[in-house]
Chains A and B, each alone.
Chain A
Amino acid sequence: MLGARTLLHAALAASLLACASARGPEPEPTPEPDPWRPFNHAMFSVNDALDRFLVGPVAKGWIFVTPETVRVHLEQFYDNLNFPGYFVQPLLQGDPKQSGIALARFGVNSTAGLAGFFDPANHWLGLARRPEDMGQTFGVWGSGPGPYLVLPFLLPASSARDAAGFPIDSALNIGDSALISWVVPGIWPATLLRTINRRALADEDLRELREASFDWYSAVRDGYLQRREVLIRNDGDDSEEAPSDDLYELDESDSLPE
């Protein structure tokens, strides 16, 4: 009996608490995501112009001369080179199992996958690709994104947290790294090809997103910040976490006109 009552009380207390926290004082305001907006907006305009008039058109040329299959496998080759980052970061995040998966993927794809151009680790063994970087690890350690940050060429969309991880990513995520071509000068055509190929693969999505948005700058900013949260949670598509319910509640004064 006592057990049942205690349980009941506990349940009541819990639901009261839940109500209290749901209806309590205004939740803490989330920090302004973009305090460096004037700078970011200027840099974004530079990047956007660069994309519209140079990188985009070149990528379109690349799309014209290559079948999609070639572009996909080329991307897989580069992604395979990111192995050091995909292996080290999960270790830092306390997820050695994922490091094991990254190691197995690299082993299988570098050999049976012909230097990474193919992805038998996913197709045959069901070991899906999971990109990792230093910013995600900072996030797992509890860091928020910090101020949003845009830098020309290097970081078209980033945040203080993710930019802080950039030097380490440049050393570990070799396939993604643009800096590697400064360290190994002869390699810059490979870096350039990667950039064009990636842009080509994203071409249709980019066009769709541009069409769907009515303020491109803030659409990219919010998309980046939301997407990074998903990557940090690492629950991929089994996400149990929805955006805050507040997002879906209207103020009482805003009732729907019938």
Chain B
Amino acid sequence: MISTSSTRAILFPSSWLALCALLLAVALPAHADERVESARGFMSKTVSDVLAILDDKQLAPDVRLSKLESIALERFDFPRMALLVLGKNRRKLDDAQLEQFQVEFKRSLSNTYGKKLDRYTSNEKIEMGDARLESNKDVTVKTRVVGGEAGDGVSIDYRLREIEGGDWLIIDVTPAGVSLIQNFRSQVQEIVTQKGVGALIKTLHEKNEAADKQATAAK
């Protein structure tokens, strides 16, 4: 009698635990899959939005470019990317400097990304690849640009972070295995170590001004 009840006492919670574990094991991957699919959906919508603009032959070049840039502004989490790029150097910037840096960084990246997309030719295609869940719950979606002259094509991975409301924002772009966040971070580190924070903001600002001037001259 005693032995049965104690067996039950032991059995019951542990079978309960086992059940929980089982439920978790079943529920978690399903949930994870949903997240991965949702992120992949966001990315494939972004890709088709971009392609729609690129395929629209009616658009004037500057309208086209500004439309591409506005997609970039909408789908990238620029403030977060700026902080990730700063890393530990963040502490060396006061609030005003941080704001300046974020403004210039965003300007630089949307500019570059818009121009980069603008250069795609119509025989290049963007293929959607697999997506995977990262350990911090970000999702990486693979894409591939194929059809260029060189043949092999190039992989571009996008790292996405979920925001409130189940939507997603891009926090890193990794073409051919080179993470932009990591690359920009080492550039920031270099300038800050060699010349200081002031030079960092100044360099970015001058670069953006030069790019804008060039764009105006091209018109």
Contact = CB atoms under 8 A, between A and B. Distances in A.
Interface of A: 1, 4-5, 7-8, 11, 22, 68-69, 72, 119, 122-123, 128-129, 201, 204, 208, 211-215, 217-219, 221-223, 226-227, 229-230, 236-237, 239-240, 242-243, 245, 247-251, 253-254, 256-257
B53 interface: no
Contact of A8 (B17, B132, B190): B17
A250 B83 contact: yes
Interface residues of B, number: 57
A247 B83 CA distance: 11
A4 to B, nearest CB: 5
Interface in B125-160: 129, 132, 134-136, 138, 140, 142, 144, 149-152, 155, 157, 159
Nearest to A229: B177
Interface stretch (B29-37, B55-63, B67-75, B203-211): B203-211
B46 interface: no
B176 A254 contact: no
Nearest to B191: A215
Contacts of A211: 112, 115, 211
A227 B79 contact: no
A219 B183 contact: yes
Contact of B187 (A11, A222, A226, A237): A222
B115 A8 contact: no
The dominant DSSP class at the A interface is helix
Contacts of A250: 80, 83-84
Contact of B186 (A69, A221, A227): A221
Contacts of B213: none
Nearest to A71: B149
A222 B187 CA distance: 8
Contact of A214 (B11, B108, B136, B151): B108
A74 to B, nearest CB: 12
Contacts of B183: 213, 219, 222-223, 226
